[in-house]
Amino acid sequence: LSTTSEHPVKHLVVIGVGLIGGSVARALKHAGFVGHVTGVGRSRENLDRARELGIIDHWTHDIAEAVHDADVVLVAVPMGAYDRVFAELAISLPKGALVTDAGSTKQHAIDVARRHLPDPSLFVPAHPIAGTEQSGAEASFAELFEDRSCILTPEPSTSLKAFDKVKALWSATGSHVIEMDARQHDDLLAAVSHLPHLAAFALVNAVRKQGDEQHDPFKFAAGGFRDFTRIASSSPEMWRDIAISNRPALVKEIDALQAELVEMKKALINGDGDKLLKLFSAAKKARDEWLEKHGGSL
């Protein structure tokens, strides 16, 4: 292994070398935080490309083989693959090795880790609040996490030493680390991330269904439609998995959006312009304040 003792993490194993896994590997290499990086995935083409690009040093399809001498394992696969991936990595995870992840929902990650890992106190769940609608190693870049937040959701039983090391790892990617309870994270993200994705998918479908042979509504779609629906170009598989792994919170958020739409619909039916103005103005004020306070990011 091409490592020196200067690296805080000698051997990092990245399971799922996609946009997120690839970007973490790039950022940590760039920061000199990791020595050797092993990539694990399913597609030979993606893994070969990741090696060519210098994102990983070598790769295998075999999770158990990859992790047997790992110091830290990063799980960066879609939520639907968690159960299988954690079961496989638990087979040969060495004693004392730390595990972190990048999954978009945290309670599910914790439940899976508890079910499979020999020592769940060495699992430190994480969710970097950064991404694009692109997938795969080719789309990854070292600066993805710079000045973005990364939420860690440790349990009371999480090892303090493990937490500190994983916190240092995510900080080395350039992100600001925030600590939060997993359930609180899942509720919050259902509102600000998962619901917008579902709404974007729903809007595109609603418009799509209005088209026919003679009449293509997308022909007339402009900037507003493009802005609102950018995230409907995200990976359908990834978003299916996120939605399924955060069901109760997401159902509550859909009810909240539905209630807002019903209120607007009522105002429209009644020709109540004042009511619409009030609803639109409250939303504009909240969004403007968010941009001013947070620059549009968490």
Q: Which residues bind ligand NAD (CB under 6 A)?
A: 15-21, 40-43, 46, 76-79, 81, 84-85, 102-104, 127-128, 131, 135-136, 235, 238, 242
CA distances from 31 to 112, 174, 196 (A): 30, 9, 33
Based on CB atoms, which residue is closest to ligand NAD, 111 or 272?
A: 111
Based on CB atoms, which residue is closest to ligand NAD, 192 or 286?
A: 192
Tell the smallest beta-carbon distance from residue 189 to ligand NAD (Å). Answer: 10
Tell the smallest beta-carbon distance from residue 117 to ligand NAD (Å). Answer: 17
Tell the smallest beta-carbon distance from residue 10 to ligand NAD (Å). Answer: 22
Q: Which residues of 100-129 are buried (b: 16+ CB within 10 A; e: fewer)?
A: bbbbbbbbbbbebbeebbebbbbbbbbbbb
Asked if residue 124 lies in contact with residue 99, where contact means CB atoms within 8 angstroms, the answer is yes
φ/ψ (deg, to 5) at 289? -65, -40
The tokens describing 226, both together, are: 């493009």
Based on CB atoms, which residue is closest to ligand NAD, 7 or 22?
A: 22
Tell the smallest beta-carbon distance from residue 132 to ligand NAD (Å). Answer: 6
Tell the smallest beta-carbon distance from residue 130 to ligand NAD (Å). Answer: 6
Based on CB atoms, which residue is closest to ligand NAD, 77 or 93?
A: 77
Q: How many CA atoms lie within 13 A of 259 on its CB side?
A: 6
Based on CB atoms, which residue is closest to ligand NAD, 7 or 59?
A: 59
Tell the smallest beta-carbon distance from residue 63 to ligand NAD (Å). Answer: 7
Q: Give the integer Cα–Cα distance in Å for 222 and 127.
A: 33
Based on CB atoms, which residue is closest to ligand NAD, 244 or 259?
A: 244
The tokens describing 285, both together, are: 């004020």
Asked if residue 246 lies in contact with residue 208, where contact means CB atoms within 8 angstroms, the answer is no
